[in-house]
Every structure is written in structure tokens, then in C-alpha cells.
């Protein structure tokens, strides 16, 4: 008898455990799939605060670095799909356009100070995705180390401060002389590791490649906007390939890391090297502030962190500014219920226009936004964001827009990254990198 009871209990346990996985728990009305891993904690706080104020639950899920498309693809097929998600510019919109709601008449979209920034459909109607942050990147440098260098009596360059670096030749002279004085400057190299491990090469195959292709595309007179020119370009000549190589070679030849091992380095490795004062420069954007700040044993003073534009030796680059733009656009899921859509829009409107929301945006997320609800005082206080704003407002500088949003596909970028890695490791020649850019652009555009 007791045996029967035991087997019955076992069966019940079997069935119960089988179905517990199906329980969903409380469903939130708003489901925000966040793209930025560095902002994950801030969004958690914001969601709690919003629920406290309004009683509407917000579920925030953050995709791990470089897995957003995968995460979105599997999440959006579920019955409780994200209501707010991100598309990365016009190319990203093309993949997700069947899921983007027209939000032209929402309060949130009306916050945009310049609505030409929004993503519209092919015929230029409606607003399907709204940019929410403006970011800038260039070479971040540690001014304390630079000043130490400019005090050296036996230095080979004539200039007296990093502000005077206005073109590639000066940059190259300074960097190479700094490498020669490494030990006096107490650094291991001038540049942080040129991270080329898989998924960590976006600073070179996307951000750095933006500069030479910007110069090429902006020379196209058929289009006023180089991004539109890029979207329509069937082929690129890669006319400024030498300039691309100039800066890339400078990075790898004056790095603290040997070329052969760059394939195993990640972006966080480079940011840690910079934060610990082992190197003087690193290429990255203002989002990297949280990575620099949070490194244990950080030796870089907030007032010493500055930006230099990405000089590559193009004629007239003395006027070139930082690369400033956005690839972060928010869209509302067309397939969500009308109630969810409205609640999601209300949440975004609250985040970018209420005092509490704006406080989180400037101080926790550290965003410079394109919205008219922010006054000039409401800008992030971190040094890199302030530098971006300074460059934006500097009339003598010409900002380089983010034309990489017009790059044909992620495969294009990955292939270029792979070619760069093989070039660095000496398995392939530089001409292979050039050919990869040209041939992959052509084949991926089709």
C-alpha cells in the first residue's frame, strides 16, 4: 500500500515540476528592452521610481553587450513581447519596420527639438523611431600625463599643450616621442589595447571607419546629407584608406600591448588600462565615463579627462571636431495592445520631461538628449559629456556626423573587424583590409 502512495506522490511531483516553468508571475504593462549594458542599474532604479509614483509596473531587461538583435528577435516572438525597444538607425529600422508603431502624434515624439532626427518611412511620412541620446567619441586622453610630457626638457616636439594638437602629423610626432619617453612618463604605452577579440572590435570597424568614409561620402554632391549618400551608395571607393591606416597603425605601434595578443583584448581591458594610468590615450566615446569611473584603483582625476578629435591626416582637418551623433532610437511595438502602447509612451514622456525623470537622465544615465524639455543647465556633469557639449558648441569645429548608421549590415562590420585582426597579427596585408571594405560594402548592399 505504502509503495503505491509513494509512486503516486512521485507522479504528482513530476507533473507539478513540469508545469511550474509555465508560470509567468505578474505581467508588467511596460516591457523595455534596454540596449545599453552600462545603464542597466540606472534603468532598474528608474523603473522602481516610476512604479512608486504612478503604480504602473515597468519591466526592464538588458541585453548583454552585442547581443541586442538576438535578444530582440527571440523576445519579440513571445506573447509578452517588449513594448519599447531600440533600433540602430535607418538600417536597423529596415529590419524591424513591421514592428514599429507610428508615434508622430505622441507627446514623446513632440519632445524632439529637431524632428528631422527621427526615423520616417520610405516616403518620409510618420515617425517610427525617436533618438534619445546624442553621443560623441574621439581620443580620450589623460591630461596629467600629457602635461608631464610637455614639461620634459628633451622632448622632440615644439608645442606646449595637448590643445595644440590640431592634425595627424602633430599627433603622430607627440605620440611617437611619448613612446620614446615611456619610462619618464611612467606609462606602459601611449595607447590602450586596440581590442580586437570577437564582438569587441566595434571601436575600429565602426567608429574609426566612420571618419574616412565620412570624408568620401560628404564629397558626393548628389546628396546634402552624407548619411543619405551612404544609404544610397552601391559601392565605396574607400578613397581615404591611407588615412584610416594612419591612425590605426599609430594605435597599434604605440600601444602597451604587443600586436600578437590584441585578438584577446576587450574594450573593458582598454578602459581599465586607461583608468589605472598605464596609458595616456584611448579611443572611445562619452559613454565610457562609467567604465573609467568604476574601475577599482582609478588614478585619473576627473578634471584631467579630455577629448581629441580623430585626426587621420585629411587635408583641412584642423577644423574637424568630435564624431557626434546617435544610433540609439526608441520604437514602440506595433503588436502590443493599445493600452500598453499608450502606457509605454507615457513612461517615456515622463522619463524625458518630468523633473524626476530628467534628473535620472542627466545624473544617472548621463545622457545628452535631443529633446527640448532639457535646459542648458540640465546637462550631465561627467567630464566626457561636458567635453562633447563643448565641442558641439564650438563654432570653429566641424562635427563629424555618425554616418556609420548607413553601413550596409552587421556582417560588413564583422568582416572588416576580422580583416583588421588578421592584418594586426601579420597573416594578411593591409590591401586585404581595403579590399574587404570595398567588396563587403558592395555585396552586403545588394
Partner 1 sequence: MKNGNKRWFAVFVGPTFIAFCIAFLVPFIMGLYLSFCEFRTVSDAQFVGLQNYIRAFSENSDFLNSLWFTVKFAIASVISINVIAFLLALLLTRGIRGTNLFRTVFFMPNLIGGIVLGYIWQLIINGILYNYGYSITSNATFGYWGLVVLMSWQMIGYMMIIYIAGIQNIPTAILEAARVDGAGPFRTLRSIIIPSVMPSITICLFLTITNSFKLFDQNLALTAGAPSKQTQMVALDIYNTFYGRVGYEGVGQAKAVVFFVLVAVVALLQLYLTRSREVEN
User: Does residue number 162 form part of the binding site for partner 1 (CB under 8 A)?
Assistant: no
- Tell how strand 30-34 and strand 135-142 pair up: unpaired
Nearer to partner 1, 14 or 338 (CB): 14
Using CB under 8 A, which of the segments 160-168, 317-325, 399-407, 417-425 binds partner 1? 417-425
User: Does residue number 409 form part of the binding site for partner 1 (CB under 8 A)?
Assistant: yes
User: Does residue number 263 form part of the binding site for partner 1 (CB under 8 A)?
Assistant: yes
Burial of 265 (0-12, 13-18, 19+ CB in 10 A): buried
**CA of 393: how far to CAs of 30, 134, 264, 328, 396, in Å?**
36, 13, 38, 22, 9
Nearer to partner 1, 219 or 260 (CB): 260
Using CB under 8 A, which of the segments 116-124, 193-201, 322-330, 383-391 binds partner 1? 193-201
Residue 198 CB, shortest distance to partner 1, in Å, is 4
User: Does residue number 18 form part of the binding site for partner 1 (CB under 8 A)?
Assistant: yes
Q: Dig out the grid coordinates for 305 from the structure.
A: 579627462
H helices within 282-382, ranges in order?
289-293, 338-353, 355-359
- Which of 411, 429, 431, 439 is in the footprint of partner 1 by CB under 8 A? 411
Burial of 13 (0-12, 13-18, 19+ CB in 10 A): exposed
Cβ 29 vs Cβ 54: under 8 Å: no
Burial of 221 (0-12, 13-18, 19+ CB in 10 A): exposed
Cβ 260 vs Cβ 248: under 8 Å: no
Q: Is the dihedral of CA 69, 75, 78, 80 positive or negative?
A: negative
Q: Dig out the grid coordinates for 346 from the structure.
A: 507615457
Which residues, numbered 226-255, are part of the site for partner 1 (CB under 8 A)? none
Residue 433 CB, shortest distance to partner 1, in Å, is 11
Residue 14 CB, shortest distance to partner 1, in Å, is 5
Residue 11 CB, shortest distance to partner 1, in Å, is 5
User: Does residue number 24 form part of the binding site for partner 1 (CB under 8 A)?
Assistant: no
Nearer to partner 1, 143 or 200 (CB): 200
Nearer to partner 1, 368 or 421 (CB): 421
Taking the C-alpha atoms of 291, 292, 294 and 297 in order, what is their torsion angle to the nearest 10 degrees? 140
How many amino acids of this chain bind partner 1 (CB under 8 A)? 34
Q: Minimal CA–CA distance to 338: which of 29, 57, 86, 24?
A: 29
User: Does residue number 198 form part of the binding site for partner 1 (CB under 8 A)?
Assistant: yes
* Residue 160: partners with Cβ closer than 8 Å, 6 or more residues away: 150
C-alpha Rg value of the chain to the nearest Å: 24
Instruction: Report helix, strand or coil for 325.
Output: strand
Nearer to partner 1, 76 or 173 (CB): 76
Nearer to partner 1, 61 or 261 (CB): 261
User: Does residue number 418 form part of the binding site for partner 1 (CB under 8 A)?
Assistant: yes
Nearer to partner 1, 320 or 405 (CB): 405
Nearer to partner 1, 242 or 409 (CB): 409
Which residues, numbered 54-113, are part of the site for partner 1 (CB under 8 A)? 69-70, 73-74, 76-77, 94-95, 98
Using CB under 8 A, which of the segments 13-21, 154-162, 203-211, 326-334 binds partner 1? 13-21
| Residue ranges binding partner 1 (CB under 8 A) | 11, 14-15, 18, 69-70, 73-74, 76-77, 94-95, 98, 197-199, 258-264, 409-411, 414-415, 418-419, 421-422, 425, 427
Amino acid at each position: 500500500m505504502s509503495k503505491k502512495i509513494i509512486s503516486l506522490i512521485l507522479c504528482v511531483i513530476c507533473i507539478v515540476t513540469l508545469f511550474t516553468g509555465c508560470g509567468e508571475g505578474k505581467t508588467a504593462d511596460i516591457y523595455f528592452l534596454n540596449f545599453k549594458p552600462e545603464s542597466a542599474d540606472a534603468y532598474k532604479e528608474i523603473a522602481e521610481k516610476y512604479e512608486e509614483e504612478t503604480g504602473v509596473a515597468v519591466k526592464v531587461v538588458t541585453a548583454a553587450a552585442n547581443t541586442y538583435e538576438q535578444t530582440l528577435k527571440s523576445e519579440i516572438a513571445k506573447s509578452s513581447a517588449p513594448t519599447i525597444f531600440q533600433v540602430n538607425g535607418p538600417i536597423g529600422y529596415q529590419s524591424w519596420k513591421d514592428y514599429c508603431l507610428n508615434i508622430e502624434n505622441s507627446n514623446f515624439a513632440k519632445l524632439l527639438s529637431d524632428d528631422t532626427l527621427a526615423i520616417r518611412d520610405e516616403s518620409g511620412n510618420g515617425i517610427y523611431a525617436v533618438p534619445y541620446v546624442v553621443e560623441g567619441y574621439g581620443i580620450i586622453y589623460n591630461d596629467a600625463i600629457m602635461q608631464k610630457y610637455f614639461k620634459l626638457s628633451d622632448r622632440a616636439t615644439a608645442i606646449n599643450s595637448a590643445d595644440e594638437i590640431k592634425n595627424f602629423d602633430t599627433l603622430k610626432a607627440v605620440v611617437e616621442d611619448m613612446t620614446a619617453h615611456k619610462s619618464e612618463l611612467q606609462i606602459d604605452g601611449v595607447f590602450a589595447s586596440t581590442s580586437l577579440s570577437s564582438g569587441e572590435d566595434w571601436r575600429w570597424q565602426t567608429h574609426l571607419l566612420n571618419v574616412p568614409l565620412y570624408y568620401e561620402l560628404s564629397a558626393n554632391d548628389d546628396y546634402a546629407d552624407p548619411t543619405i549618400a551612404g544609404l544610397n551608395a552601391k559601392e565605396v571607393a574607400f578613397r581615404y584608406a591611407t588615412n584610416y591606416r594612419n591612425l590605426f597603425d599609430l594605435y597599434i605601434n604605440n600601444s602597451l600591448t604587443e600586436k600578437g595578443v590584441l585578438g584577446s583584448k576587450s574594450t573593458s581591458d582598454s578602459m581599465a588600462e586607461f583608468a589605472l594610468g598605464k596609458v595616456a590615450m584611448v579611443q572611445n566615446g562619452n559613454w565610457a565615463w562609467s567604465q573609467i569611473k568604476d574601475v577599482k584603483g582609478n588614478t585619473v582625476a576627473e578634471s584631467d579627462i579630455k577629448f581629441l578629435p580623430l585626426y587621420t591626416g585629411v587635408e583641412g582637418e584642423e577644423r574637424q571636431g568630435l564624431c557626434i551623433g546617435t544610433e540609439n532610437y526608441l520604437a514602440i511595438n506595433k503588436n502590443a495592445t493599445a493600452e500598453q502602447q499608450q502606457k509605454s509612451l507615457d513612461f517615456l514622456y515622463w522619463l524625458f520631461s518630468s523633473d524626476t525623470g530628467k534628473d535620472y537622465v542627466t545624473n544617472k544615465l548621463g545622457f545628452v538628449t535631443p529633446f527640448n524639455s532639457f535646459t542648458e543647465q540640465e546637462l550631465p556633469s561627467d567630464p566626457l559629456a561636458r567635453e562633447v557639449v563643448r565641442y558641439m558648441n564650438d563654432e570653429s569645429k566641424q562635427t563629424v556626423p555618425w554616418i556609420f548608421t548607413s553601413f550596409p549590415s552587421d556582417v560588413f562590420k564583422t568582416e572588416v573587424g576580422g580583416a583588421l585582426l588578421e592584418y594586426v597579427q601579420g597573416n594578411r596585408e593591409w590591401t586585404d583590409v581595403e579590399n574587404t571594405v570595398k567588396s563587403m560594402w558592395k555585396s552586403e548592399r545588394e
